[in-house]
Structure 1
Amino acid sequence: MTQHAGPLAGKRIVLGVTGGIAAYKAIEIARRLVDAGAHVAPIMTDAAQHFVGTTTLSALASEPVRTELWHDPETPIPHTKVGQGADLILVAPATAKLLSAYRSGFSHDLLTNTLLATRAPVVVCPAMHTEMWEHPSVVDNIAVLRERGVHIVEPEPGRLAGGDTGMGRLAEPARIVAAVESVLGPRDLAGVRVVVSAGGTREPIDAVRVIANRSSGKQGYAIAAEAAARGADVTIVSTVELSPPFGTTVVAVETASQMEAAMREAASSNDVIVMAAAVADFRPATTAGGKIKKRDGVPDIVLEPTPDILAGLGAAKRDGQVLVGFAAETDDLVANAQAKLEAKRLDLIVANDVGAAQVGFAHDTNAVTMLRPGAEPVEIDLAAKRDVARAVIDTIVEIMRAR
């Protein structure tokens, strides 16, 4: 399996955990950071230990949890050592108390001392009840921290402690890790506008049934996440309900016609177009207004072609615009992809054999062959879809630099 070094590989990240019910999510955040190659040094406040045990976090992080400002056998001033040695400090969850102390410079424990004794970038992920999140003092503290350059991953709506629902739920671990990647990763797409299509279109037969395919949208979302992490302004035209990657905007569509309209509109203002969606090639020529009943017998469904979105984008491509297509094949992978590359005026095509094990639709892994005009094919062996996305974005950056 080909390994692509990500932006967190070798980075030292201090993970601060404060005393909120969402502290349990810090365990998953630590695991994801370590899996991405980061060295995770955890700090827990006294209140955090009421929700999560130090043993669990120590086991999944890269070193034991620190909890005290004093009595560290390694150094008499742990906050200085930890803060100065960090590439980034992440606080997840961050309570209203932490936000207030950090804003005012109240250094009362190891975590707040570390935050004040570092010049590393800081990412803060608030989590609290809706009433607290909306309180003017908290709103003001967030605004001041933002002005000082602190990166804020805002909470999400959802079920909160106590059974109520509202804004204040800690952002999902994947979104938090993506925010960290965005801060520490290369910014080689800063100022670049990217649109990515994702998922499989659904063409209605009647009010209930559709013609669809098995595309999960995971590869398209991985590409969008990677582009956003590297500074791009990213829009996803999507048929699926996956959690939007940090820093992206989603335009929801369902049919090929809807996707065509959304992609044509986006193409007029974007620098890079990645057509990762699996668009249905055919649709019913007519759609029943209600549900077709079984008692009426097997219906005759006449099909017609859907619009060739990629060909239309290629025909309308502006000078300097990068157009990327995907080819999901079951045979003659390179030959079919090469023909598509040439016929549709693409700058890059990413082809995969969806009949191979653990490749393509619905899997978290993929194996692809990338083709460019006048260049030898590049094969990416079975890897996580985010690693494949990194290779695709690397190639897009190469194309842009060559121009």
Structure 2
Amino acid sequence: MLAGKHILLIIGGGIAAFKSLDLIRRLRERGAKITPVLTRAGEEFVTPLSVSALAGEKIYRDLFDLTDEAEMGHIELSRAADLVVVAPATADLMAKMAGGIANDLASTVLMATDKRVLIAPAMNVRMWDHPATQRNLVTLHSDGIRMVGPNKGDMACGEYGPGRMSEPLEIVAAIETTLGKGPLTGKHILVTSGPTHEPIDPVRYIANRSSGAQGTAIARALLDLGASVTFVTGPADTPPPKEAQVIRVQTAQQMYDATLNGLPADAAIFAAAVADWRVTDVSDNKIKKDGSGALPVLNFAENPDILAEVSKLTKNRPRLVIGFAAETDNVLENATAKRHRKGCDWIIANDIRPDTGIMGGAENDVTLITDQGPEDWPRMDKTAVARQLADRIAQVLNA
């Protein structure tokens, strides 16, 4: 699959850089051509000579190299390859990518490329968990950057947790998926995400506390496996993935209409936090206090039940319909009852009590409920949840 493919490998500065040497060897065994870019920090862990010898190619290190830049080196490097791989991708490199900083050869190449980019993060667990890194991850995912790892394990510093760079063969597999056909290639999947806003008057609305982070991560994971994704999103905080067909909506009725128009699909995942009710008599003008102490009267009606409506379709029903159950009490009981009531195939239950930090946070703690019963997943970041879910969907759709 990799024979004749040209990969630009950027090696960041971290103890995991030693794995990049084995990665080069594994890729060359499969017939790939490797052009290495070694950062100054990377040189502290692997030598230019060893990288160049294994790659069998000239190594690039300096942005202001007279010979290379006379030939517009950073532009040529960024566009001559089939894929740009960053391994290890340090917290510093990821921050530069997210912030659009181009102050050395590696970051300039990443800014100038028009090719797909795959990163293999590697850093201390506390750096990985830092809010800045998690914010950068959201940005990188929305920019279409693909990611493999990091894995959990013992760190060189003696700590334990997520932050270990994926093993070379794991990265090779991710490269093959990115350049070849992923397990969801040819599949169309619809994802709803974010909150809905139900207007009361021109300045007020009813909404749910949803950032859209989990729905966006799911869409990103499906895209990474080769799926074609229709992404129906309310006014979320998290930017949608650029490679998806993005349909922006405000209200539940608009989301319902967009969902039906987005069918047929092989699978549909309803991660949106849809408002259950809407105000029937929306005021054209801002409602004001009149000084009498009288409270405004709002009349409500139920919004369309998008999950239930799609689950009971006889025509264009997706093969796999997946809902979410955000619960504050009796999580498993309520989520299981919701699955039966709605008629969907799977329900992903999560406890969203305020003390969990789930709603609007970077992590999720979910239980997958199918006709086989509940399956508890460990608490992990929303990207990891999305990947695990995408893998399960691929298994079912390819069965």
Matched with 1:392 is 389
Secondary structure (helix, strand or coil) at the match of 2:398 reads helix
Matched with 2:271 is 276
Segments of 5+ residues of structure 2 without an aligned counterpart are: 1-6, 22-34, 64-68, 87-96, 103-111, 119-137, 149-173
Q: CA RMSD in A?
A: 4.0
Aligned partners of 1:292, 1:250: CA distance in 2, in Å? Answer: 33
- What residue identity is the alignment partner of 2:384? D
- Counterpart check, 1:346 vs 2:327: no
Aligned partners of 2:245, 2:144: CA distance in 1, in Å? Answer: 18
Of 300, 303, 322, which aligns to 2:300?
A: 303
Alpha-carbon spacing, 1:368–1:79, altered in 2? closer, same or farther (3 Å): same
Of 286, 289, 301, which aligns to 2:284?
A: 289
Alpha-carbon spacing, 1:302–1:221, altered in 2? closer, same or farther (3 Å): same
Shift of 1:389: 1.2
Identity among equivalent positions (%) equals 30
1:13–1:38 Cα contact (<8 Å) kept = no
- Counterpart check, 1:97 vs 2:73: yes
2:267–2:320 Cα contact (<8 Å) kept = yes
Alpha-carbon spacing, 1:372–1:190, altered in 2? closer, same or farther (3 Å): same
Aligned partners of 1:83, 1:204: CA distance in 2, in Å? Answer: 63
Matched with 1:163 is none
Matched with 1:81 is 54
Of 123, 135, 145, which aligns to 1:178?
A: 145
Aligned 1:373-388 pairs, distance under 5 A: 373=371, 375-388=372-385
- What residue identity is the alignment partner of 1:179? R
- The CA deviation string for residues 140-199 of structure 1, in whole angstroms up to 9 with x for no partner, is x98xxx8xxx6479xxxxxxxxxxxxxxxxx95445673355745581111111111111
1:353–1:359 Cα contact (<8 Å) kept = no
- The CA deviation string for residues 207-238 of structure 1, in whole angstroms up to 9 with x for no partner, is 00001111111111111111111111112111
Aligned partners of 1:301, 1:210: CA distance in 2, in Å? Answer: 12
2:143–2:241 Cα contact (<8 Å) kept = no
- The CA deviation string for residues 243-292 of structure 1, in whole angstroms up to 9 with x for no partner, is 233522321111000100011111x2321100000111111111001211
Aligned length: 297
Aligned partners of 1:273, 1:330: CA distance in 2, in Å? Answer: 25
Secondary structure (helix, strand or coil) at the match of 2:145 reads helix
Aligned partners of 1:230, 1:191: CA distance in 2, in Å? Answer: 10
1:200–1:217 Cα contact (<8 Å) kept = yes
- The CA deviation string for residues 318-370 of structure 1, in whole angstroms up to 9 with x for no partner, is 46621110011111211221122122221111011111643531010010111
1:197–1:274 Cα contact (<8 Å) kept = yes
Of 325, 328, 335, which aligns to 1:327?
A: 325
1:358–1:365 Cα contact (<8 Å) kept = no
Alpha-carbon spacing, 1:180–1:214, altered in 2? closer, same or farther (3 Å): closer
Secondary structure (helix, strand or coil) at the match of 1:397 reads helix
- What residue identity is the alignment partner of 2:226? G
Aligned partners of 1:320, 1:292: CA distance in 2, in Å? Answer: 43
Aligned 1:134-283 pairs, distance under 5 A: 151=116, 173-175=140-142, 178-179=145-146, 181=148, 183-185=175-177, 187-239=182-234, 240-245=236-241, 247-266=243-262, 268-283=263-278
- What residue identity is the alignment partner of 1:81? L
- What residue identity is the alignment partner of 1:362? G
Secondary structure (helix, strand or coil) at the match of 1:205 reads strand
